[in-house]
Amino acid sequence: MPISVSGNIPGGRIEVVDCSDPADIRLRLIPDRGAEFRGHYHFRLSGGRGVDCVFRILNAGDTLATRLPGREAVENAWTNTGPVASYDRARWFRLPASFDGQVFSFSHRPDYDLCHYARWAPYGFDRLLDLLARAQLSSLVRITTIGRSIEGVEIDMLTLGTEAPGKLKLWVLAGQHSSETQSGFFLEGLLDRMLDPHDPVAQNILERAVMYVIPNMNPDGTIHGWARLNAVGTNLNREWVAPSTERSPEVKCVRDLMEAVGVDFCVDCHADAELRCNFLGGPLEIPSRSARLNDLFCRFENLWAAASPEYELGHPYPGGAPEHADLTMAWNWIAERFDCLSVLLEQPFKDTSWWQDREHGWSPQRATRFGSSLPVAILGIIPQLREGHSK
Ligand SMILES: [Zn+2]
């Protein structure tokens, strides 16, 4: 029987140029609508059991033209990494790969008939629905539908804890860029801990604060397998100054709610395909930058590093600080509008450099445990969040 390769699966994404010869499976990446071009892929191989297969992604090098500015000194997204593969879609293991500047290649002889391949472990929309269904069984949670995507998919928010005057408002955003699926696993770790009635850290936070979690801001992207954009080709993380119903209803509903509720802390969860570490971006160059915000950011970084070695100090956002922050990005706009600690979290696609797991690389399991470490850092920073607060 011949092999078959297909991206026509939920959240799948690949163009099959030719798979008639298992030793020369030729593939191409597909840009998002709006033509933003990133290295996202997710596909299935059928009939590969015991067959030596060689996969070549022919246009991988074309994505280098869309690298973020200031990254010249950083290794590119195709170096020092390989795809993840899975037989059961639960455990994902790494394969070695090579990149010649244009073509990304890897080989594999599957042990089973079906094998899935992806840039990083997928986090499908069904899994998000499972997470919401599980979370709502806790008496600590309310779930609210706050808006709809361009294609009409509901955008949900979890409210953890009981709202009361004087309580801090903590926000966690995820999924603006739908291929950065690390966020889903990170949120599982965060929510499992925050909803544990026997966890003193979580209970202490919820006595003093309410946590608002938006688990997926771009459900259309998740469902279709897009890398970063929404259904009309908008990069949601460039919409925060003036979101609109036509271009970015996903941002507008969250922003409107923030205006109504207030924000004392926010973390916006993303992933970075180039760096081999978890790192934070702080809104240090916003117009209302202050010693207070600088100090909060440094304290928070140190608290998280103490809570988990997966957060390493000394990895500032690459390329140096811009002269002026881009307020169209969520974390910058939120910090400027609410004079609060608001950070960008980037998890790796590769492995971390401090602790290397050659079998898995940075994995869903590690992302989940990393998420469970966030409450310790939040608990530590709570006493300072409103000190000298101006808005
Ligand atoms: Zn992102």
Per-residue pLDDT of the chain (391 residues; tens, 9 = 90+): 799 999 999 999 999 999 999 999 999 999 998 788 889 999 999 999 999 999 999 999 999 988 887 888 889 999 999 999 999 999 999 999 999 999 999 999 999 999 999 999 999 999 999 999 999 999 999 999 999 999 999 999 999 999 999 999 999 999 999 999 999 999 999 999 999 999 999 999 999 999 999 999 999 999 999 999 999 999 999 999 999 999 999 999 999 999 999 999 999 999 999 999 999 998 778 998 899 999 999 999 999 999 999 999 988 888 767 778 899 999 999 999 999 999 999 999 999 999 999 999 999 999 999 999 999 999 999 999 998 876 6
Expressed in angstroms and rounded, the spacing between residue 112 Cα and the centre of ligand 1 is 34
Q: Residue 92 corresponds to which amino acid?
A: W
Expressed in angstroms and rounded, the spacing between residue 189 Cα and the centre of ligand 1 is 19
C-alpha 377: how far from its chain's center?
19
Q: How far apart are CA 343 and CA 376, in angstroms?
A: 16
Expressed in angstroms and rounded, the spacing between residue 27 Cα and the centre of ligand 1 is 24
Expressed in angstroms and rounded, the spacing between residue 346 Cα and the centre of ligand 1 is 8
Expressed in angstroms and rounded, the spacing between residue 272 Cα and the centre of ligand 1 is 7
Helix (H), strand (E) at residue 268: strand 265-272
Expressed in angstroms and rounded, the spacing between residue 199 Cα and the centre of ligand 1 is 31
What SS3 state is found at 45?
A: strand
Residues pairing with 56 in the sheet: 26, 105
C-beta separation of 168 from 208 below 8 A:
yes
Expressed in angstroms and rounded, the spacing between residue 268 Cα and the centre of ligand 1 is 9
Its pTM stands at 0.97
Expressed in angstroms and rounded, the spacing between residue 270 Cα and the centre of ligand 1 is 4
Expressed in angstroms and rounded, the spacing between residue 332 Cα and the centre of ligand 1 is 14
Expressed in angstroms and rounded, the spacing between residue 162 Cα and the centre of ligand 1 is 30
Q: How far apart are CA 191 and CA 130, in angstroms?
A: 13
The token pair at 183 is 């966020």
Expressed in angstroms and rounded, the spacing between residue 155 Cα and the centre of ligand 1 is 18
Expressed in angstroms and rounded, the spacing between residue 282 Cα and the centre of ligand 1 is 15
